């Protein structure tokens, strides 16, 4: 579990793709202080497990499923990534509860300056927008953000100068993809209402697009 408060920007130094999956090595400093093999790390909002480490970097392994539903499939050597270690229960939660389980990929539709903030409009699929509320929380590339406005096709967020400098969002532009994770609370509320028969249960359409996203064809 994470908070969506990015600790530092790391950089991918090694990327090895095999039929079994992908192995990444990430250069870092702050998160290395107490990082152990087996620990969870949020990499651009994706919860990954440390499989090896040195003094200056650590490695994680990524399954084909994760590659198909996140922006990891577009990663390359040299790419900067947002890093956060798993939260401690005895610390303040500066953002919100983040599982590190990406719900889908969004796309930046617009970016413009508004005073000292950068305003982003992000296009998102319906299965993510259904859990969004104005002034609620959403995770974008591992960053806990507040939803400013909602539409049928996306949402907007404001990025303060500190966030732009301390995360990769300051480097993002129009048409860049981003990992999105909806707020956990909305998902649990929906599930409870469905079990009580107060909401219809969602149906899954098994089509070509569904199978391709999960690497099954």
The per-residue pLDDT for range 195-213, each reduced to its tens digit, is 777 656 655 554 566 555 5
| CA pseudo-torsion sign 30, 39, 65, 46 | negative
H or E stretch at 194: helix 184-195
- Alpha-carbon gap, residue 88 to 117, rounded angstroms: 30
Q: Check residue 216 and give its pLDDT.
A: 47
Residue with tokens 């090694």: 14
Q: What mean pLDDT comes out for the span 183-193?
A: 78
* pLDDT on residue 22: 92
Euclidean distance between the first and the last CA atom of the chain, given in angstroms as a whole number: 32
Same fold, 8-85 and 104-195: yes
186 pLDDT band, cuts 50/70/90, is confident
Return the CATH number of 104-195, one of 2.60.40.4070, 3.30.420.10, 3.40.640.10, 2.40.30.20: 2.40.30.20
Please tell me the distance from the alpha carbon of residue 111 to that of residue 108, in angstroms, as a whole number: 8
* In the predicted structure, residue 49 carries a pLDDT above the cut 80: yes
Q: Which two tokens stand for residue 23?
A: 């192995």
Which pTM was predicted?
0.86
pLDDT, one tens digit per residue, over 140-159 is 999 999 999 999 999 999 99
CATH class given for the domain over 8-85: mainly beta
Q: List, in sequence order, the alpha helices (H) in 122-167.
A: 126-129, 161-166
The domain limits of the chain are 8-85, 104-195
């Amino acid at each position: 579990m994470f908070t969506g408060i990015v600790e530092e920007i790391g950089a991918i130094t090694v990327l090895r793709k095999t039929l079994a999956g992908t192995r990444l090595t990430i250069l870092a400093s702050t998160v290395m202080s107490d990082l152990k093999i087996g620990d969870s790390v949020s990499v651009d909002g994706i919860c990954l497990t440390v499989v090896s480490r040195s003094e200056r970097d650590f490695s994680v392994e990524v399954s084909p499923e994760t590659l198909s539903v996140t922006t990891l499939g577009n990663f390359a050597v040299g790419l900067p990534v947002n890093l956060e270690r798993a939260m401690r229960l005895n610390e303040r939660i500066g953002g919100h509860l983040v599982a590190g389980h990406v719900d889908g990929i969004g796309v930046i539709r617009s970016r413009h300056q508004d005073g000292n903030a950068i305003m982003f409009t992000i296009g998102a699929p319906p299965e993510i927008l259904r859990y969004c509320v104005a002034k609620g929380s959403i995770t974008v590339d591992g960053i806990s953000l507040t939803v400013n406005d909602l539409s049928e096709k996306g949402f907007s967020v404001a990025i303060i100068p500190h966030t732009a400098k301390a995360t990769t969002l300051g480097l993002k532009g129009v048409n860049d993809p981003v990992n999105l994770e909806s707020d956990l609370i909305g998902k649990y509320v929906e599930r409870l209402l469905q079990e009580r028969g107060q909401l219809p249960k969602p149906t899954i359409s098994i089509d070509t697009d569904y199978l391709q996203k999960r690497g099954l064809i």
